[in-house]
Structure 1
Amino acid sequence: MKLLHIDASALGAHSVSRGLTSAIVAEFVANHPDVEVTYRDVHAEPLPHWALPAGEDDPQAAEGARVMEEFLTADVVVIGAPMYNFSISSSLKAWIDRITVAGKTFRYTATGPEGLAGGKRVIVASSRGGIYSAGSPAAAMDFQEPYLKALFGFLGVTDLEFVRAEGVAMGDDHKAQAIGGAVAGIGGLLRKAA
Structure 2
Amino acid sequence: MTDQPQSSEHASSLPGFLGTIDSLISRIESAMLAVGVLLMAANTIANVVGRFVFQSSIFFSEELNRILIILITFAGISYAARQGRHIRMSAIYDALPPPMRKPMMIAIALITAAFMFALCWYSYGYIVTQAGRGRVLPALQIPVWWTLIWVPVGFFMTGMQYLLTAIKNVREKDIYLSTNVLEGYTADEQEI
What TM-score comes out, normalization by structure 1 length? 0.29
Structure with greater helix percent: 2
Q: Which has the larger radius of gyration?
A: 2
Q: Which has the higher strand share?
A: 1
